[in-house]
Amino acid sequence: MPNTSLLPLLSSGMFVSGQDLADLLGVSRTAVWKQLNKLEELGLEIESVKGKGYRIPGGITLLDEQAVRDTMAVDSLPLLAMLDLRDAIGSTNAEAMSQIAAGRGSGYVCTAEQQTAGRGRRGREWVSPYARNLYLSAVWEYEQGAAVLEGMSLAVGVVVARALAACGVPPVQLKWPNDLLYEGAKLGGILLEMTGDPAGACQVVVGIGVNVSMPGKAAEGIDQSWTDVSRINSGSPLDRNLLLAAILDELLPMLASFEATGFEAWRDEWLLLDAYAGADVVLHSGNKKTAGKAMGVDKRGALLLQTVSAGVQAIYGGEISLRPAS
C-alpha cells in the first residue's frame, strides 16, 4: 500500500511549506520529498512554488465509508451488504469476481482510490489515477442466467445519469451500449460481467467508472475525447463520497428489482438521454463496418439501426462500437 500520510496535510489545496510538512510528520525534508515523489507516481498533481511550499491544486477528499453510509437514503442503505473500500487495487471488477468466489453475494460493493489494472469494455485500459475519479463494482445475484443481462448496462447508464443530476451536474447523455457523454466527450463507462450458470443461478458484476477530476498528465494516454465532472462544473469540485452515495441510492434498488422489471421499465428514460437519437452512425465490429441511422433501442436494449439495404435491424451488444458517421 502506498504511503499516503502526506495526503491529509495537503488535502485542503492550500500551500504548506516543506519544513512544516517535515515538522508535522516528524521526518526529514528528504523524507518529505520522497513521499511527494511517491504521490506524483500515483498520478496526483503536486504543485511546488518557491517560498510557499507544496499543494495539491483543488485539494483532495479521500473516500470514506462512514461518509457514504451517512449520506445514503434510508431505503437503499439496507441493500448495501458490504462497502469494501480499497486504497490501490488491480481492478474493482476483478476483486468483485474474487469475492463472489469467496462467497459474497448481492449488495457487495468494491470501490478503490486507484486501479492499477482498470479496464473497460473490449479490454481497453481504464485510466485510474489515485483519488481523482470514481471506480466501483457491485454484485447482485439472479436466477434467470444471462437473460437478465438484456439491457442492464443501459439501465445502469440511466442510474448514473440520475445520480450525477442529483449532485448538481448538468445533464449528461448516454451512448449505446455503455458510455456516459457530455457534449460528445466521454465522462464515464460501464462494464458488466457474469459468472455462474448462463441459464440459471448467476452473479452479475456491475462496474462503473466516472471521471471526476482527471489530472491532465494522467489523461495523456487516453485516445478519445474525454471530460470530467470538474470541467462540466466549471472547475467546481464534487465530493466523490457524495457521488458514490448518490449512485448506490439509485443502483442498488435497480439491481434488486431488475429481474422483475427488465429494461423495459427504463427504456423511456434512456431514450430521453440518447446521445445519437436519429443520427447517422457507423457500427464497427472487427473489420466489419455498418452504416445507418440510430433509431433508439427496443425493450430488450438492442440498438435499432435503420439501413438502406435491410431497413430497421435490432443490434445486440458484444464486440461492437458505435461511432458517429464522419
Catalytic residues: 121, 186, 323
What span, in angstroms and rounded, lies between the C-alpha atoms of 181 and 216?
A: 18
Position 18: which residue type? G
Position 4: which residue type? T
Could you tell me if 221 and 127 are in contact, meaning their C-beta atoms sit under 8 angstroms apart?
yes
Q: Is the dihedral of CA 17, 23, 29, 35 positive or negative?
A: negative
Could you tell me if 303 and 177 are in contact, meaning their C-beta atoms sit under 8 angstroms apart?
yes
| Cell matching residue 30 | 528528504
Q: With both helix axes pointing from N to C terminus, report the angle between 29-41 and 18-25 in degrees, rounded to the nearest 10.
A: 100
DSSP-based three-state secondary structure for 168: coil
Residues 6+ apart with CB under 8 A from 215: 43, 44, 45, 129, 132
What span, in angstroms and rounded, lies between the C-alpha atoms of 227 and 235?
A: 12
| Cell matching residue 150 | 438484456
HSE-CB of 8 using CA atoms within 13 angstroms: 5
SS (H, E, C) 50-93: CCCEEECCCCCCCCCHHHHHHHCCCCCHHHCCEEEEEEEECCHH
Q: How far is CA 115 from CA 93, 112, 321, in A?
A: 10, 7, 24
Residues 6+ apart with CB under 8 A from 190: 121, 153, 156, 157, 160, 178, 179, 180, 206, 207, 208, 209
